Chains A and B, each alone.
Chain A
Amino acid sequence: MSAIPALAVHKLTKLFTDPSQPEAVAVGVRGVSFEVGRGEVVGLIGESGCGKSTLGRCVVGLQQPDDGDVVVDGTIFSALTASRKRSFRKAIQIVFQRPETSLNPRMSVFTFIKQAMRNFDTVPRNKERARMAELAQLVGLKDDALDRFPHQLSGGERQRVAIMRALACEPSVIVLDEPTSALDVSVQAQVLRTLKDLQSQVGTSFLFISHDVAVVRYICSRVMVMYLGVVVEEGPSELVLAVPAHPYTKALLAAAPRVKPLPEPGLSLRGELVLGDVRPGECPVRARCPLAHERCHEAPPMTELPGGQRAACWLAADQAAALSPSVFDPSKKVSQ
């Protein structure tokens, strides 16, 4: 990538300890680093407790990280003062999961979105209506929706309004935190299709957070898989989701609901995530991984695999070493 990436995250850390289990390992985000290029759609997959929502909130500045940087369009967003942050917010926006609470019940759609336009001075006042109509068309809403209130809109329509609000700021990056998870199957398809189309039209970068592997496969060109605050695998969707290298990714794929079930059951993790079973410094998946062995007591580094795929697993490291000794780079360590 020659240009400055739209979003760059360096060693972001934000941890929460469960007060009822003070010795257990903390949840949140640990030392995560990645980049999202201009116009790229990057997916972030993980189940509950993996820290993806926390990561999303830190990235848009709704939460202050304990450590690490969020760099948007070359500016260190996380280091800005509160007042500067307010104006810089324009560049990075978010769409939330729940349509019921994403919109202000007392504001019409027009008024709600107008705030963003006015605060960031995106269009002169007399052009506001026209711009809103444009945006409405872009997200697939009819003009008359603009003067409606949230309780007069369906779930799918509300999500579209949320997307409109994000777009109205003219951001470089939009973080979408499970934008379709609370929607019905058929509505989900409509909104996803809209998202994909408008992304290619407008060219904004997306960070698409979801637990649904199929959805991420559909819309994202690159994907990261998170578990307990750490990225365990990343790379082009075509590779990671078709030939996963990390056991967790394999288990996720095997467990994903399918219309045509796979002939073989595939890999599955044992039990559920129990924080108390995870020791600091080890591979976070070890306690549940069917392929775990002695080395796993030490957190594996990220291994570079062919095609831009990377996985944090000793077995993947073996695989890479077998292919070509030079590919295995022990200096890239995933910090705990």
Chain B
Amino acid sequence: MSDILFSLDELSIDSIRDGERRRIVDHVSLAVRRGELYGLVGESGSGKSISMMASVGLAASGLEVAGGTVRFAADQRPAADQKGLRRNLSRGVSLLFQNAKGALNPFMTVGRQVERALRQKRRVRDLAGEVDNLFRVVGLSWRDLGRKYPHQISGGQAQRVAMACALATEPALLIADEPTTALDVTTERELLRFLARLCVEREMAIVLIAHNLSLVSEYCRSLSIMHAGQVVEEGDLKAIFARPLHPYTQGLIRAVPDVDSPRELVPLVGSVWGGPQGIERCRFSHRCPHRRPDCDRGRPAAVDRDGRAVHCVLYEEVPA
């Protein structure tokens, strides 16, 4: 078993607004192995992006890390040490964002931006050659695009340039926050396939943050599903999809239209933030068809089942 490269342990984050404190990430844990393509799935408000941004010291202002530890390679520190965590960004962690054109500098040619990214890592002997190579790695041609500005290239190309910049520092971990959401389906597919290949070729771990399950199904081996700041189900993707155990996972699958059949949709009821506030509970209970009093008595513990862990009281009583 390959070792764990990156892990979150009981990460909790509060948002402070108008003097009020709300817990938006609730004791989240996950572990990513070297060279693994890990999916982190949740809808907006699930805390998936916030958790990962906080894990590299980029928690937005107005957010306060309330607890937990982050481990990256040999470095382990409390998640509250945002400044210390930010150093990981120059030590082997790279980021990819949703809006690639927005993440690139509009006043610099794309070639120059990749150049700068390369220079950050170490002394480079053949800069031009390395830049050209990186472009080729991401499927672009420096000769065609190198001198263009971000607004002159397409969204898919911009995302590839962003990838080149991210890869320039030869990261061990790439955090990709919904990198294909703004792209066409056909372009999305190309990029995701490319990411999956990179993962294998460079033994680079990738955390792929996505807003729906179908996106990760083809590419990830392990996955965590989040709802309202809590992890509800996590582990081997095939096991989860073969038999989804958590009511939220089941609900998600039933609520998404199927391209191959016109079957009826069964929407999830309620909204992400409903239910009793301010107590430790399963935050899906107010939407759950199997709700019972136990659900509001505390955070459900993780129960191991067939290669994945599910956080639900339904599975706590029955012996594994």
- B276 is an interface residue with CB less than 8 A from chain A: no
Q: Is the CB of A192 within 8 A of B265?
A: yes
Does A193 count as interface, using CB distance less than 8 angstroms?
A: yes
User: With A184-B44, A217-B262 in contact, is A47–B214 under 8 Å at CB?
Assistant: no
- Fill in one digit per residue for A168-191: 1 if any B CB lies within 8 Å of its CB, else 0: 000000000000000011111110
| A269 beta carbon closer than 8 Å to chain B | yes
Q: B188 to chain A: which residues have CB within 8 Å?
A: 255, 257
Q: Is B241 part of the binding interface, using a Cβ–Cβ cutoff of 8 Å?
A: yes
Q: Which residues of chain B come closer than 8 Å to A184, judged between CB atoms?
A: 43-45, 211, 272
B213, B253, B256, B271: the one contacting A214 at CB < 8 Å is B256
Q: A184-B211, A218-B262, A268-B186 are in contact. Are A259 and B267 (CB under 8 A)?
A: no
Q: Which residues of B contact A47 (CB under 8 A)?
A: 184-186
Q: 3 tightest CB-CB pairs across the interface, nearest first?
A: A257-B214, A189-B255, A189-B267
Annotate A188-222 by CB proximity to B: 1 below 8 A, 0 otherwise: 11101100000000000000000111110110000
In the docked arrangement, what's the CA distance between A253 and B189, Å? 11
> Are the C-beta atoms of B186 and A237 separated by less than 8 Å?
no
**Residue ranges of A at the interface with B (Cβ–Cβ < 8 Å):** 47-48, 154, 156, 184-190, 192-193, 211-215, 217-218, 237-238, 241-242, 251-261, 268-269, 272-273
Evaluate contact between B189 and A255: CB separation under 8 angstroms. Answer: yes
B260 within 8 Å of A by Cβ?
Answer: yes
- 11 extra interchain contacts, Cβ-Cβ under 8 A, other than A184-B272, A193-B265, A260-B217? A48-B184, A154-B271, A186-B268, A189-B266, A189-B267, A193-B267, A211-B184, A237-B262, A256-B259, A257-B217, A268-B190
Within 8 Å CB of A154, what residues of B? 271
A-B contact pairs, 20 of them (CB 8 A): A47-B186, A184-B272, A185-B252, A186-B267, A187-B271, A189-B256, A193-B267, A211-B184, A213-B185, A214-B256, A214-B259, A215-B257, A218-B258, A255-B188, A256-B185, A257-B185, A257-B214, A259-B213, A268-B190, A272-B187
Complex Cα spacing A242 to B258, Å: 12
What is the minimal beta-carbon distance from B288 to any residue of chain A, in angstroms?
13
Report the bound CA distance from A272 to B155 in whole Å.
Answer: 10
Given A47-B186, A184-B43, A272-B154; A258-B259 close (CB under 8 Å):
yes
B: interface residue count bin: 35 or more
Residues of chain B with a CB closer than 8 A to A156's CB = 271
Among B44, B157, B214, B252, the residue within 8 A (CB) of A258 is B214
Pairwise interchain contact B256-A259, C-beta atoms closer than 8 A: yes
A186 touches B252 (CB 8 A): yes
B215 on the interface (CB 8 Å rule)? Answer: yes
| Contact A269–B184 (Cβ < 8 Å) | no
Chain B residues near A242 (CB, 8 Å)?
Answer: 260
Nearest residue, chain B, Cβ from A190 = B267
* Chain A residue with Cβ nearest B287: A186
Contacts of A186 in B (CB 8 A): 43, 251-252, 255, 267-268
Q: Which residues of A contact B187 (CB under 8 A)?
A: 272
A251 to chain B minimum Cβ distance, whole angstroms, is: 6
CA distance A211 to B259 in the complex (A): 12
Q: Which residue of A lies closest to B180 (CB)?
A: A257
- Known: A193-B265, A211-B184, A217-B262. Contact between A259 and B253, CB under 8 A? yes
Which B residue sits closest to A242, measured CB to CB? B260
